[in-house]
Copies of this chain bind each other. A is one copy, B any other.
C-alpha cells in the first residue's frame, strides 16, 4: 500500500540509520547526567534532573514514532514475527515504564534498575548489526561453557570443604566457617589471594602445601585452558560455518549470473559482455580495473571466460592493485614539479631518503634519542618539574631539528601524497608535530611520546612487521568486542549504582556522619590505618564514570577480593554474588573469547598473508 511504502522509504533512508544510531547512543549516555551524579555535576542537580527528563522523553517519543512507522510498513503479523522489531518494542515499553516510575516514585528514581534494558535499543539499531553478532557470540559462548562452570564450582566446593576441615582451626580468619572457606577458595582459584591464604598453614607445617598444589595446578593450568579450548573450538567452528555459508551463497549467485550471461551470447563470456556487466554493477570499478580482472580470470588466455574461470570472480574483485614498479607514485610527483632544477633536487632527495644508509642513520638517531632519554631519567633520581630541567630542553633543541629535517626531506623526496597515505609516515608526522607543539607550549612531557618511535625502529625487522600487521588488521574486529564489553559494563554499572551508589565514601571523612554512610568498610579502605591501600574507596559505584573504572578493575581480576570485602562490610555477605557473577559471566567470558578471537585471527592472517603475496606476484606477471 501507499502508506507502507512511504514508511519503508523513511525507515530505510541512509540518514535515518545514522539518526537512529545517534539517538540510541544518546539514550545510553543519559546515565552520565542521571541520578548518581558525578561530583562536579552535583551543584546543578535540580536543573540536570529536568534536562535529563526532557531529553529522555524526546528519545522515547522518537522510538515510539519509529515503531509506529514500522507498524505501518509491516502490519501486525509480520511486525510481531520480526525478531528485531519485537525486541525493539519490548525495549521501548520497558524504558517507558522506567521513565514513568522514575517520575512518580522518588525511591525508584534513585534505583532505576530498568535502565539495564537500554542496550537492547542500541543493539537493535541497524548500524550495529556487527556488534549484535558479537553479542550473540558472547552469549552462545556462555551457554557452551556452562557445563564447565558446574565442574568448576563443584571443584571449588570440594576443596573448600577439605580446607574447612583441615585448616579450620589453624587459620580461623580464612577457613573458620564453610562460607569463608568457599570464598577464600573461590578467590584462590582466581589466584588473587594466593600466597597470603597459604602462608599461615605453611607456618604450621610445610605439608599443607599438598592441599594447595593440586587445587592451583588443576584449577589454573587445566580448567582454565579447557575453558579456552572449548570457547575456541566453538568460535572457530562458528567462523568456519559462516565462511562456508558465504562461499555457498557466492557460488550460487555467481552461477546464476553466469547463466544469465550465457543465455545472451555463447556458452562463454567475452570481454565486451564482462565489461558491460561489471561497469553497470558498481560505479567505483574503472575501465582499467575491468581489464585487469578479465586478464586474471582468463587463465587459458583465449579471451573467453568459462564457468570454471568465471567462478573466481569474487576473489578477483576483492584484490587490490598496485603497479609493479612501486616507485611510480614518487616519479609522478617528480614530474609534477615545474622547474627543472627543483625536479632534479627532488629526484636526488628521493634517492637519498629511500637509501638504506638514510634509514639506518635515522634509526640510529632514534635509538640514541631514546637511550639519552632513559639515561637522563636515570641520572635525575628525584622527581622534578619535567618542564623546568634543561635535559629536556637540549633534547628538543638537538633532536627535534633532525626529525624536522627528516620530515622535510621525505616530503620533498616522496611527495606529500605518498607520505600521507603510508601509516608509518603518518605516525611519524603526528609524533613530530605533537613534539613541536609541546616544546612551544611548554607541556614538554609530550616529548616522551617520541619514544613511541622506537616501534618504528623495530619495524625494520621482518618478524616485528608481521606482528604489527596482525595487530593493525585485528583492530576493527577488536573494536566490536570492545563495544560489546562496554555494553555489558553498562548493564553492570547500572546494577552496581542501584545497589551501592553513595554508600562507599572516603573513610577519613567519618566525621561527616552521612545518613547512609557506614564507616566500617574494611581495613584496606581506611587510609589512617593502612596508608598504601587506603584509597580503595575510589573503587566505587557512586557515578557512571567511577562505575566503569571499578568494573575495569574487576575485569583485570587482581585484588578483586579487596574491593569485594569493602562492599561486604557496608552491605552484607550476599554482595559476594555480585562479584562472583561478574567474574564468571563477564570476566571469564571476555578473557576467553578475546583469546579465542586473537588465536583464530592469527591463524587466518598468517595463512592469508602468505597467499596474497603469491597472488600479487603471479598477477604482475600476467597483466604486464
Contacts and interface: CB of A to CB of B under 8 A. Distances in A.
A126 to B, nearest CB: 28
Contact of A179 (B373, B378, B553): B378
A178 interface: yes
A221 B594 CA distance: 7
A166 interface: yes
A192 B158 contact: no
A433 to B, nearest CB: 18
A226 B535 contact: no
A539 to B, nearest CB: 6
B168 A383 contact: yes
Given A451-B158, A599-B232, A203 B538 contact: yes
Nearest to A177: B381
A173, A229, A455, A478 pick with most chain B CB within 10 angstroms: A229
Contacts of A94: none
The 5 closest A-B pairs by CB, nearest first: A229-B602, A199-B535, A178-B377, A225-B598, A165-B445
Given A381-B177, A563-B195, A599-B232, A467 B151 contact: yes
9 contacts: A150-B458, A154-B454, A162-B449, A168-B384, A178-B377, A194-B558, A202-B535, A202-B549, A558-B558
Contacts of A458: 150-151, 154
Contacts of A179: 378
A168 B232 contact: no
Contact of A452 (B158, B470, B598): B158
A120 interface: no
A196 B531 CA distance: 11
A41 interface: no
Interface of A: 147-148, 150-151, 154, 157-158, 161-162, 164-166, 168-169, 172-173, 175-179, 191-196, 198-200, 202-203, 206, 209, 213, 216, 220-222, 225-226, 228-230, 232-233, 373-374, 377-378, 380-386, 445, 448-449, 451-452, 454-455, 458, 461, 463-464, 467, 470-471, 474, 478, 532-533, 535-536, 538-539, 545-546, 549, 552-553, 556-559, 562-563, 591, 594-595, 598-599, 601-603, 606
Contacts of A377: 161, 164, 177-178
One complex includes copies of this chain to the number of: 2
A236 to B, nearest CB: 9
A603 B233 contact: yes
Contact of A383 (B177, B192, B595): B177
Nearest to A532: B196
A199 B448 contact: no
A147 B463 contact: yes
A229 B553 contact: no
Nearest to A373: B161
Contacts of A161: 373-374, 377, 448, 451
Contacts of A195: 536, 539, 553, 556, 558-559, 562-563
A196 B559 contact: yes
Max chain B Cβ within 10 angstroms of own Cβ: one of A377, A464, A545? A377
A194 B543 CA distance: 21
B383 A172 contact: yes
B194 A556 contact: yes
Contacts of A538: 199, 202-203
Nearest to A179: B378
A556 B195 CA distance: 9
Contacts of A545: 206
B176 A382 contact: yes
A474 B226 CA distance: 11
Given A196-B533, A225-B594, A445-B165, A374 B206 contact: no
B383 A176 contact: yes
A582 to B, nearest CB: 15
A481 to B, nearest CB: 9
Contacts of A553: 194-195, 198
Contact of A194 (B169, B384, B559, B595): B559
B595 A556 contact: no
A57 B40 CA distance: 77
A202 to B, nearest CB: 5
Contacts of A461: 147
A372 to B, nearest CB: 12
Nearest to A549: B209
A467 B148 contact: yes
B373 A200 contact: no
Residue in A165, A599, A602 whose Cβ sees the most chain B Cβ within 10 Å: A165
